[in-house]
Structure 1
Amino acid sequence: MGAVPMFPLGSVLLPYTPLVLRVFEPRYLTMLGRLLDVENPEFGVVLIERGLEAGGGDQRSSVGTMARIVQVEAGAADLYVVAVGGERITVDRWGDDDPHPVADVSRMAPLVWDEALAPLHREAERVVRRLATLASVLDEARWDPATDISDDPVESSWQLAAIAPLGEYDRFRLLNATSLGGLLRDIVDLCLEEEPVLVARAADARDADGGDRL
């Protein structure tokens, strides 16, 4: 896949999860204008490891996700874009900006479901929803803890990774999973590592509010 339009961001896009963007930089407005002229508009998303989203000069990760545009709305001087994460990609080579970033990329192998993973999937969902509920008490949840997930086990595994209230580098670790079992186990382990931190912060918030927060 050569000369793929790319959108480096300060956040990780996971497969089968939505992405909402407010686009205002001229280079990315140009990119969207070009994409909207093709039948299946897609662009690549990679995490900015160092630097800022606006203005360029950033250091970018080499693993990302293709994003398929499903909706565009025009603002006064910007565009609001809704896209959905698709297949994972690795960046083989960055090209010259045109005026937006472009790269040659390769598809990563999709993760494969095995029915033997069903108990681990159920455990991951329990842990993720418990932690997301705790994060919602602190007004830090990315998603509603009761968010519906897909009936497809591969899609829902990625969606659980997105619902989990984890930092971007933890999410990037999940994006690099080489097996579905590894993804689910990492989701559980990372959430269990984060849980004591959120419990302590929730207790502090409760004490600061006179015991009424929880």
Structure 2
Amino acid sequence: MNRALTNIPLFPLSGHVLPGGVMRLRIFEPRYLRMVREVCAQGDDGRVGMCMFNDNGSVEHNTHIHSVATLARVIDFEHRDDGLLGITVEGVEPCEITAIRVDSDGLRRGDVTIREPWQETPLPTSYTHLAERLCQVYSEYPELGECPSDDRLARADWVCQRWLELLPVDAKVKQELLREPCCSRTLDYLAGLIHESEHKSDP
């Protein structure tokens, strides 16, 4: 039976973080500053529901948040020179939002069901170019962190999730892919996207 959690603070973003991923954020709205304090006070058990915006949804009816989300934990924070709070979150496990409530200051909270994560899957040799291109992206954008040197680049599930975080794919498409029981469909989808991108860049 899937685990269910209640009263999880939700953080909808245009950027996305998935299980195994890391995202750096700047926090300035009072409701989200309160969220960070609350989550950090819970120690290792503290979780934030990192959500995807639904551009066709309604803020009034809370349908502006897609249901497939990621439970994340705050792994670092800093008080920035610009006065904002900088935090780093790490995606822990996938979840589905089943209900949303709104605090008086606008902070959304959700009841969630934990979804089964994609199983660790070896990256087929015919798709190793996806890992190679991912390493190139890490080298071109140092703010993403260092390219991992362990066996994560040999895992199709990990590589697929990092590409889904990075690519400007419509959130609805990402939701459909993340609902799949494994990463095989995402692998094919990403290979097609990157092949098309490389083809367009050829002289």
TM-score, scaled relative to structure 1: 0.72
Contact 1:161 1:171 (C-alpha < 8 Å) held by counterparts = no
RMSD: 3.4
CA distance in structure 2 between the partners assigned to 1:175 and 1:124 by the alignment: 22
Gaps of 5+ in 1: 52-56, 205-214
Residue 42 of structure 1, aligned match among 25, 43, 47: 47
CA distance in structure 1 between the partners assigned to 2:25 and 2:180 by the alignment: 25
Alpha-carbon displacement from aligned partner over 1:128-175 (angstroms, at most 9, x marks no partner): 1344477689x689968x82265369x944430244353333544443
Secondary structure of 1:161's counterpart equals helix
Aligned length: 189
Secondary structure of 2:69's counterpart equals strand
Q: Describe the shift of the 1:141–1:128 C-alpha distance in structure 2 as closer, same or farther (beyond 3 A).
A: farther
1:176 aligns with 2:179: yes
Contact 1:132 1:141 (C-alpha < 8 Å) held by counterparts = no
User: Which residue identity lines up with residue 151 of structure 1 in the other structure?
Assistant: D
Q: Displaced runs of 4+ in structure 1, greater than 6 A?
A: 133-137, 139-142
Matches within 5 A, 1:1-214: 1-40=5-44, 41-50=46-55, 59-75=64-80, 76-99=82-105, 100-113=107-120, 118=122, 121-123=123-125, 126-132=128-134, 147-148=147-148, 150-151=150-151, 156-164=155-163, 166-169=167-170, 170-179=173-182, 183=183, 185-204=184-203
Contact 2:22 2:89 (C-alpha < 8 Å) held by counterparts = yes
Larger radius of gyration: 1
CA distance in structure 2 between the partners assigned to 1:175 and 1:187 by the alignment: 8
User: Which residue identity lines up with residue 185 of structure 2 in the other structure?
Assistant: D
Gaps of 5+ in 2: 57-61
Secondary structure of 1:34's counterpart equals helix
Contact 2:21 2:162 (C-alpha < 8 Å) held by counterparts = no
Q: % of aligned pairs identical?
A: 18
User: Which residue identity lines up with residue 52 of structure 2 in the other structure?
Assistant: L
Contact 2:124 2:156 (C-alpha < 8 Å) held by counterparts = no
TM-score, scaled relative to structure 2: 0.76
Deviation at 1:193, TM superposition (A): 1.5
